[in-house]
Structure 1
């Protein structure tokens, strides 16, 4: 029976001894195996209860993908994971679906496996002890079929790209698919010689193997699975320099190189603008990936933001709007990528901040005044809260529509919280808070409670009541400095930005 007075570390030798005794008994035919039936697990995220897995911390992913084409055909993959066990594991659950597994090894030994829900449930040849480093290798296919709205692979006019937010990386590769478990990534993509493969991070030297080329990329900073990006297509990689010599690389269809150049050259200026507000860019490089696909959104994949081609080439978008959407995804590199949400209920910290800087940039570059946009958001805010919940306690996504989590309340509705906070504590304190936030939590994860505590520390006073009302109340509280503002019945988002940028 368990010994409550012992610590987990003290219990580990006892647990190993007990398991050894059971294995001896099993080999002698004295007892029957008693592992429960495999089930999908989760780490308790209130919005995605089966996402992520307990018992281990992923340190690195090493992902090999082979693309033969066309972009509807299965890719061959091998995903190698190095992890640290945080508990004693008789089984190891990974998130994985929409692919077929052929073999699994744990610590170099063949392991049994099955599937349950969207989990790959692995039974290693021997149990894994708490504190033990473990290496898992899964040979699998990666299936790009299915609608783009399902997430994972996005089929483009010339190949593939990825859009894994919020919970679709495990439609591409086995993983611990939750932003609370960030890790370093290595990608090796093999494709026909007439195609170019690009992924997050820094490029190694491509290796030609007869009719194919293998491209290698490594991240210099940990990354959440939802931010992984692999692009395969008839692409050109355009290089330039950003602030302080930062490498900027953009990925575009070769046929679009010239027509997109007026937009591509704007990124260094966007970087300078963001650095002036929140401090140094947090990663090894940056750029935009312009995909010939219709997704209905743009996406902040780490170091290489994904954009629809039509944002830049379609009619009807004013220059200030396109620029501000580019800044929205760039701002996410600080808010959401470098500082990742601990749970998906903390999403407002990502989207509220990205929308905030998007709106500031728009105001300074020919777009609507910030106050006008925030007044419109305030007018709609009660309706947004009724439909989607308050900013820090969002309602779960609609069944079968996981991206419905990205509602107006987490965009302009959450930027409105920041607008109120700046009025409440003053512009100087707000600026210090923003810089402290991204510096203190760089390369990590953080919660709403972490943000509210830091805001109170920077402001030098208790903000409990303020945040309780603005983040959790069903009704929008009065706006500091604007007692005449009123909210009204539900209506659509305050601006087109909230419907396009993720």
Structure 2
């Protein structure tokens, strides 16, 4: 009886302390890590080490999923409150280090007041019981013809699960999905478990490398999982609508060869597995979710897309596994490094395999470059996205406009130095984050001379500099429609076609 009373007194004292602390703290408010383009994304004071996501799907993609999110993190300062990015779901309960915690919402933040402050340098586990709502059209879950998939870029992961929703804070993921037995569930990384219980199956996946929240992927549907080997025995796993398994095989079997081609350009594939996820959804874009790139079914099944064009889209998303996924941007203004490189290798593949001139495409891009910069800002200093339209950040200047910088750089330092730079970049920063400054410093080191002036002109000025090796190239004055918001995936000099893909004159502008 004495032991019980001591426990009761301790519990009452903790509850009273938490109430007192909450009363003395200011009102909850949304925080951010200071990214100029997304000022409310991310949260200060901690570094996420692992996410453990548990989703239960009832079979109706119009109804919220039940979910539990567990976050292991390291405090980088003393925390009386902990902010997580989370919206579009109902929070049922929160625990910090096993003790119930108070919580409130502020903007798109879940603001947690733990029973006791978390000390600087200490580990903490946050457990949030919540729902995950697949309705709406601002990203996160996307409803497919037979279930669900995820489209979290740029700022929509926190519409699916609580977390530190900024690519600067990468972490390891374990993902569990419980779904009706007739469906197949897949996620990033490698499958580590599959357990049936009654009419449901629970699937477990784990990443072997850290991942940004924007790159998380979960697909639930009537899917076939097709396995084969890539270079060096790499496991390749494709996930496609079961009814289209045979129809899509001519495309699926291309992936190992494409991986081999990319490895010859920049070095070993950086993750534990790769594959394509083909979803029955009209997203208007493709997405480089880590180890499992998302593609619309229509890209492969609608007539009118030449083979070389579809191939180049596949290579674009594959290239992102190195540029954007393994080496992630530390700020969203570093996005040009992701999209410029993916566009670069998309173009090179199309030139080598289909004779589509890279120089012609770059000349056309140069002609429009001043207009793109006027509309969206220079590559490394983009204008903020349109209010309420975060994906409007993905403008033409981020694609061909940024590949143009790499084209100029190769002319400036020579092909041999450029090839060494590309390999060193993905090797040095593998599994990490990097900035534009990091790229400039590495390029200067590889070239053996200071390239600051070159990059300042190409990355930060409103006017496009003269193209090395092509003094006759000219950029046109901005057209009146250059300031209009554009589909981030539509080539700016081509007419949008079909479900958001572009007319295949040269290449698509995928995510």
What interval of TM-score do these two structures reach, taking the shorter chain for normalisation?
Answer: over 0.9
Structure 1: distance between partners of 2:335 and 2:22: 46
1:126, distance to aligned residue in structure 2 (A): 0.3
> Equivalent residues in 2 for 1:315-334 (5 A)?
315-334=303-322
Matched, 1:85 2:86: no
Q: Match for 1:126 among 93, 101, 116? A: 116
Task: Please tell me whether residue 452 in structure 1 is matched to residue 452 in structure 2.
Answer: no
1:442 corresponds in structure 2 to 430
Identify the residue that residue 140 of structure 2 maps to in structure 1: 152
Question: Could you tell me whether the CA contact under 8 Å between 1:411 and 1:498 is conserved in 2?
Answer: no
CA distance in 2, matches of 1:308, 1:167: 21
Structure 1 residue 494: deviation in Å? 4.2
1:206 match: secondary structure: strand
Q: What is the match of residue 8 of structure 1?
A: none
Counterpart for residue 410 of structure 2: 422
Q: Equivalent of 2:32, from 35, 42, 47?
A: 42
Query: Contact between 1:298 and 1:500, CA under 8 Å: does it hold in 2?
Result: no
2:510 is matched with which residue?
Answer: 501
Q: Which residue of 1 aligns with 2:258?
A: 270
Check 1:32–1:437 CA distance in 2 against 1; reply closer, same or farther (3 A cut). Answer: closer
2:399 paired residue number: 411
* SS across alignment from 1:204: strand
Distance 1:133 1:32 in 2: 22
Q: Is 1:55 the equivalent of 2:50?
A: no
Q: CA deviation at 1:500?
A: 4.2
Which digits, 9 at most, give the CA deviation of each residue in 1:312-333, with x for residues without a partner? 0011111111000000000000
Q: Whole-Å Cα distance in 1 between the matches of residues 446 and 440 of structure 2?
A: 10
TM-aligned CA deviation for residue 33 of structure 1: 3.3
Shift of the alpha carbon at 1:30? 10
Matches of 1:417 and 1:334, distance apart in 2: 18
Of 138, 142, 145, 2:128 maps to 138
Q: Cα offset for 1:366?
A: 1.5
1:282 alignment partner in structure 2 = 270
- Aligned counterpart in structure 2 of residue 466 of structure 1, from 422, 434, 454: 454
Distance 1:125 1:498, change over 3 A: farther
Q: CA deviation at 1:353?
A: 0.1
Q: Which residue, 354, 358, 361 being the options, matches 1:373? A: 361
> Secondary structure at the residue paired with 1:434?
helix
- SS of the residue corresponding to residue 97 of structure 1 reads coil
Gaps of 5+ in 2: 1-12, 483-490, 495-501
Cross-structure match for 2:334: 346
Asked whether 1:258 is paired with 2:246, we answer yes
Aligned to 1:204: 192
Alignment partner, residue 19 of structure 1:
none
Q: Give structure 1 regions of 4+ aligned residues with deviation exceeding 6 angstroms.
A: 29-32
Structure 1 residues 140, 32: CA separation in 2 closer, same or farther (over 3 Å shift)? closer
Aligned counterpart, 2:5? none
1:394 and 2:348 correspond: no
Deviation at 1:31, TM superposition (A): 10
From 96, 114, 117, give the equivalent of 2:86: 96
In structure 2, how many angstroms separate the alpha carbons of the residues matched to 1:78 and 1:31? 27
Residue 262 of structure 1, CA deviation: 0.1
CA spacing shift, 1:498–1:118, aligned 2, 3 Å: farther
How far 1:76 sits from its partner (Å)?
A: 0.2
Partners of 1:140 and 1:388 in 2: how far apart?
Answer: 38
Residue 30 to residue 152, structure 1, CA distance change in 2 (3 Å): closer
TM-score by length of structure 2 reads 0.91
Contact 1:99 1:143 in 2 (8 A): yes
Q: Which runs of 5+ in 1 are unaligned?
A: 1-22
